[in-house]
Structure 1
Amino acid sequence: MQDRIKRLFHSAASRNGSYSVGAIVLVIAIVIVVNLIAGQLPEKVKRIDISDNRIYEISDKSKKILKKLDTEITFKIFAEKEKTDDRIKTFINKYASLSDKIAVEWIDPVLHPSELSANNVESDTVLISCKDTQKSTTVAFGDIIVSDDSSYYMTGSVSETQFDGEGQFTSAVKYVTDDVARKVYYTTGHGEDTFSSSVSDLLGKNNMEEEELNLIMTGKIPEDCSLLILNGPSSDITEEEKETITSYLASGGKVFLLLGEAREDTPNLDGLMKEYGMEQEKGYIADMQRSYQGNYYYIFPVLDASSGLTEGMSSDMVMLVNAHGMNMSDPVRDTITTTPFMTTSSDGYAVTEDNQKQGTYTLGAVATETVGDEEARFTVISAGTLIDSQVTDAFSTLENLTLFSNAVAANYDDMENVAIEPKSLEVTYNTMQHAGMISIAVIFGIPLVILIYGFLRWLKRRKA
């Protein structure tokens, strides 16, 4: 019996079996070691973003802000961790791993209900605070994964539309570490357009508080105004309002004008612009070279990268609809410098009912003047459609809002645009509607070659 057992283990089959068992054990050991090593890697290394629309991808802008953090920040998450959406947990871990100044603490509101009232928060909320500045703010889970409640009435379920983790957290971090308060006033009383929710959201992410201002009623610009915006006025300002704005600029103020659909002449607005070296051309601007599918009044302007207003823009795809044109002229003072940053091509046309005048027209310009220790800044964009939701929502690839945010942030030396737009959660479907030769080769050709090769190998071994 012993001899039989010895012969069994010395046979070729037993040796091959031993080699197979040994190889399996070795592979299992390697897998265990690799997993142990991977478990010790930092979050930013071991988590690869394979999500649709790259919702976990963090921009260079946020990475730069987190890298420069020099004060401790705490993320207190008031939620049941095991019930929290995995996308939120994953993003928080990845975001916090980019800075050793961020500490994450989970607080279960079911086990510790008193913590909600003590911190004045609700469940499913992230409280972000900085001990040095004594400032804090909150980000609700509903602001990270944004849902379209209106879809419930059509489909019977609420659809998720956007993931805004990076935008919310970077704005919050910037807010709690920044001790500068900025207030934006927007004028009323001249048929101005209201800000869309997207614009208000971007201003909020840049930690700017907005409030309306009727200059006809107040007669002055508040002292806490850090930026005055005239958003698409359809009628002229009064002579008194012009003098008020001129005095504000002369004292180092910041004014942002987006031209609107004026139903009548606007001599006071025109006069204000002319003082700062900008003269409005009559009519609407068409561009024969840079237009949307032959709609010559839907213009893709030429952007000047040297202006610094294109930072963070990957495509420079900005669209203006029914824009007015401007020509540069001499300002009233030599101390004023006026610089265009957005123009038409050389095939631009100023079109009126009676005439078409060809030229290269300015669509956006900035006038600056040093006043003591301050820099006055007058920004003019020739179409309020830059931030019109009917344009920005209809064309999701446009970077209108990024340009607007950069132009707002450029008014301040100590401010950078941290308004990061949310990522879409809409499902992207792969189809074969327009499959090219490469697609056909990958989908059908390679598997077919592998099958044929396998069949030939099987046939050869069978005949052997």
Structure 2
Amino acid sequence: MRKRKDRPKRRFRFSLPARPTAQVFRNGSAATVLTVLAVAAVVLVNLIGNALPASVSQFDLSETKLYTLGDVSLGILDELEQDVTIYYLAQTGSVDSNVTALLDQYAGHSSHIQWQQKDPALYPGFACQMGVEDATDGSLIVVSGDRTRLVDSSVLYSSEFDYDTYSYTTSFDAENQITSAVQYVTGGELPVVYQLTGHGEATLSDGVQQALGLQNMELQELNLLTSDIPEDADVLVIYAPSSDFAAEDVEALRSWLLDGGRMLVCTDPGVDTPNLDSLMEDWGLSLIDGLVIEGSSNYHLQGASYYLLPDQGSHAINDAVDDGLYVLAPEAQAIRVADELPEGVTVSELLTTSDSAYIKSEGYDMTTLNKEDGDETGSFVLAAAASRTVTDASDGEETDDTEETAADTSEAESRLVWLSCPMLLMTDDLDQITMGGNGQFALGCLTWLADQDTTALIAAKSLMLKGLSLSSGQVTFWAGVFMVAVPLVLLILGITVTLKRRRRR
């Protein structure tokens, strides 16, 4: 057998690593210090960010500005002088992030507002202690002093049917509800609005009544046949009576207005009310017989020349209507403003037609909508606001001083708004067309009469995501960018990097 030759043994050389020099230690220490400083800086920035109010530290990138307070809310918060606490009744793990983000905005903008979460499982009797027995999970309790307002979870979101897409859209209505509650708990005596009855008056729409509630105005009914005008009446509303007022009722209203009263009158073109019309003449206003037809297609709904889209004059009432929104006035009668107004009376034209409008004197008995010879043409007033300064010196006492008297005189301002179209206030139907314009106009009338500065009618913010619509050319362009150009650039970069690495080897 062959003997294997012994293989030569391999020798391995080991070398100990070089002793670290002072330079290495210095570099390592510097790296450690820099790492610690970087971590400390990150922690410090986070602490500062968390300490900042949400209005500064958070950015609202949503299309409808879901988490941004509107001008109305900001104006009310800026004027706050009382502390307000908002309790959010929500179980841990079931908190609505939309609600908490909005509450952060309220607390961040005003130092007078703070909010707390109360878990009903941990505090089962908290709502009852606050005087609210029917609060549900997700509701808000707004408290300031001895006033409390419940904002139920059911009103934080609203759902409406969209006739364009034939589907329901969900909107976030929390800002409207919370701002109204804040205004309620911090406000003084609430205005009282009385709607007159006993003459076949129509009922105010649900939309107007809800708007009054959000504006913290109390609505009651008043029959002049059985009661005098109450002392706490801030505004009287006459809405589309189907019969005329008695002379005694008109005289009571006249005396009340001369004493600084405020009144909203909305008459029906199909009903003759000569006694009520005589009250309007005290303010230099009268009706023109017939219905107004709009001759310009830019001032009426398509295909309905008697569904008017009038111009909005410069007035505090119209300031309540968001820019770009229309007010729709179907089947309206024209109001004539006297050339010479009674002493002390000023009149503002709220809604006016174009110069191409004309009047069909037959009213509802007209046989054609077309303009005919004899039809009065021009720009017509559909709604007017009037005011009159009245002086009350009845409490004065005469003195022997011939130059001065000790009579205490006080001035008050009577106000009157006359709408010649009862459908103006049918906001439940018309607001779907005008995107809320009619409701804002109606509330603007009532808040101006009640001498309130702001309206709390804030539009709900849609939660629906809008799809991105692209033309066929745009689709082709972006398809080429992402399916051809971008992959090609990445491929070229990859080849370039690979070649450079091979050359280095």
Q: Give the shorter-chain TM-score range.
A: 0.7 to 0.9
Distance change in 2, residues 1:394/1:307 (3 Å): closer
Rounded to whole Å, the distance in 1 between the matches of 2:428 and 2:181 is 28
Deviation of the 1:2 alpha carbon: 6.7
Do the aligned partners of 1:234 and 1:261 also contact (CA within 8 Å) in 2?
A: no
Rounded to whole Å, the distance in 1 between the matches of 2:211 and 2:103 is 21
1:59 aligned partner: 70
2:408 aligned partner: none
Distance change in 2, residues 1:234/1:4 (3 Å): farther
Deviation of the 1:29 alpha carbon: 9.5
Distance change in 2, residues 1:49/1:194 (3 Å): farther
Q: Over the residues paired in the alignment, what is the CA RMSD in angstroms?
A: 3.3
SS of equivalent to 2:140: strand
Do the aligned partners of 2:416 and 2:449 also contact (CA within 8 Å) in 1?
A: no
**Does residue 397 of structure 1 match 2:435?**
yes
Aligned pairs for 1:9-24 within 5 A: none
SS of equivalent to 2:64: helix
SS of equivalent to 2:236: strand
Rounded to whole Å, the distance in 2 between the matches of 1:384 and 1:415 is 25
2:261 aligned partner: 253
The CA deviation string for residues 83-132 of structure 1, in whole angstroms up to 9 with x for no partner, is 1322222222222221111121222222222323221222433221222x
The CA deviation string for residues 10-45 of structure 1, in whole angstroms up to 9 with x for no partner, is xxxxxxxxxxxxxx9999999877655543432123
> Which residue of 286, 295, 306 maps to 1:297?
306
The CA deviation string for residues 258-308 of structure 1, in whole angstroms up to 9 with x for no partner, is 23352x422123222222111212222122141222422222211123556
SS of equivalent to 1:54: coil
SS of equivalent to 1:221: coil
1:82 aligned partner: 93
Rounded to whole Å, the distance in 1 between the matches of 2:316 and 2:160 is 37
TM-score computed with the length of structure 1 as normaliser: 0.83
1:278 aligned partner: 285
Deviation of the 1:59 alpha carbon: 0.6
Distance change in 2, residues 1:57/1:233 (3 Å): farther
The CA deviation string for residues 432-464 of structure 1, in whole angstroms up to 9 with x for no partner, is 3x6386676567646653334334434555677
Q: State the one-letter code of the partner of 2:383.
A: G
**Does residue 42 of structure 1 match 2:53?**
yes
SS of equivalent to 1:96: helix
> Which residue of 132, 140, 150 maps to 1:126?
140
SS of equivalent to 1:249: helix
Distance change in 2, residues 1:446/1:357 (3 Å): farther
1:223 aligned partner: 231
Deviation of the 1:332 alpha carbon: 7.0
The CA deviation string for residues 339-391 of structure 1, in whole angstroms up to 9 with x for no partner, is 21221111111123275321110111111111222111010122122221354
Do the aligned partners of 1:233 and 1:261 also contact (CA within 8 Å) in 2?
A: no
Do the aligned partners of 2:335 and 2:380 also contact (CA within 8 Å) in 1?
A: yes
SS of equivalent to 2:342: coil
Rounded to whole Å, the distance in 1 between the matches of 2:43 and 2:472 is 42
Rounded to whole Å, the distance in 2 between the matches of 1:221 and 1:282 is 31
Rounded to whole Å, the distance in 1 between the matches of 2:272 and 2:355 is 27
Distance change in 2, residues 1:25/1:438 (3 Å): farther
Rounded to whole Å, the distance in 2 between the matches of 1:145 and 1:272 is 44
**Does residue 93 of structure 1 match 2:101?**
no
Q: State the one-letter code of the partner of 2:489.
A: Y
Deviation of the 1:331 alpha carbon: 6.8
Rounded to whole Å, the distance in 1 between the matches of 2:341 and 2:315 is 25
Distance change in 2, residues 1:230/1:308 (3 Å): closer
Rounded to whole Å, the distance in 1 between the matches of 2:358 and 2:16 is 100
1:368 aligned partner: 387
The CA deviation string for residues 139-165 of structure 1, in whole angstroms up to 9 with x for no partner, is 11212123579xxxxx9xxx7733221
Do the aligned partners of 1:275 and 1:331 also contact (CA within 8 Å) in 2?
A: no
Deviation of the 1:53 alpha carbon: 3.4
What number of residue pairs does the alignment pair up? 434
Distance change in 2, residues 1:437/1:363 (3 Å): farther
2:149 aligned partner: 137
Distance change in 2, residues 1:302/1:312 (3 Å): closer
Aligned pairs for 1:63-462 within 5 A: 63-121=74-132, 122-124=135-137, 125-131=139-145, 134-146=146-158, 161-215=170-224, 217-218=225-226, 220-262=228-270, 264-287=271-294, 288=296, 289-307=298-316, 309-311=318-320, 313-329=322-338, 333-352=342-361, 353=366, 356-372=375-391, 373-389=411-427, 391-395=429-433, 397-413=435-451, 415-425=453-463, 427-430=464-467, 432=469, 435=471, 441=477, 445=481, 448-458=484-494
Q: Could you tell which deviates more after superposition, 437-446 or 416-425?
A: 437-446
Rounded to whole Å, the distance in 2 between the matches of 1:172 and 1:327 is 41
Q: Could you tell which deviates more after superposition, 77-86 or 46-55?
A: 46-55
Distance change in 2, residues 1:258/1:462 (3 Å): same
Deviation of the 1:414 alpha carbon: 5.1
Rounded to whole Å, the distance in 2 between the matches of 1:342 and 1:385 is 14
SS of equivalent to 2:433: coil
Distance change in 2, residues 1:141/1:81 (3 Å): farther
Distance change in 2, residues 1:47/1:231 (3 Å): farther
Do the aligned partners of 2:53 and 2:109 also contact (CA within 8 Å) in 1?
A: no
Q: State the one-letter code of the partner of 2:490.
A: G
Q: State the one-letter code of the partner of 1:229.
A: V
- Comparing both structures, which one devotes a greater share of its residues to helix? 1
Distance change in 2, residues 1:227/1:457 (3 Å): same
Do the aligned partners of 1:219 and 1:244 also contact (CA within 8 Å) in 2?
A: no
Q: Percent identity?
A: 28
The CA deviation string for residues 303-341 of structure 1, in whole angstroms up to 9 with x for no partner, is 123556324622142221111111111577312222212
SS of equivalent to 2:322: coil
In terms of Rg, which structure is larger? Answer: 2
Do the aligned partners of 2:293 and 2:305 also contact (CA within 8 Å) in 1?
A: yes
